[in-house]
Amino acid sequence: MSNQFIFEEGVKPRSPAGRRPPVIDQDGREVPEAARAPGPDFQIFGGNGDTPLLGNLTREQRLARLEALAKLLDVAFVVPGTNVRYGIDGLIGLVPVVGDVITTAISLWMVREARTLGAPMHLIARMLGNVALDGVVGLVPIAGDAFDVMWRANVRNMRMLRKWLDKQ
């Protein structure tokens, strides 16, 4: 069996007899083929238990995942006693250079997902501009961290994407 066959989308390697590979439960016992759920051998589900996080997602599932990630990155928490919201982007960004690189990479992944959803190039360019500004200014110590909290590039990008999708 060639590697090309193994890595083709939708093709799963099977044992020579055509059976799925054995599944072992928590106690170390093999789960019989008849007791297994139909479908993929491995799938990760979201918090509600029925939405797959990886694999084939519907358009609405992708949007929900992107919006949840944008909120987590930019507005998940509130500074007590104030109305100032911040997310893990601001917290991870406190780690010099590495934190900003990580959060910029996550933001770039979100832009890639928007492109996968069919967003036009002019919208992708604006989204990339938001991410670039957030990433470059975020590298500046202290002032960059404050800018990360106030700029909210991911929420802005999701707002632009949602506005474009609503027009479609």
pTM: 0.67
**In the predicted structure, residue 13 carries a pLDDT above the cut 70:** no
Instruction: Concatenate the DSSP letters of all residues of 81-146 into one string.
Output: TS--EE-HHHHHTTSTTHHHHHHHHHHHHHHHHHHHTT--HHHHHHHHHHHHHHHHHHTSTTHHHH
pLDDT digits (tens, 9 = 90+) for 102-142: 999 999 999 999 999 999 999 999 999 999 999 999 999 88
Give strand pairing partners of 86: 77
Q: Is 157 helix (H, G, I), strand (E, B) or coil?
A: helix
**In the predicted structure, residue 8 carries a pLDDT above the cut 70:** no
What DSSP state is assigned to residue 34?
G
| Tokens coding 144 | 């960059």
pLDDT at 92: 92
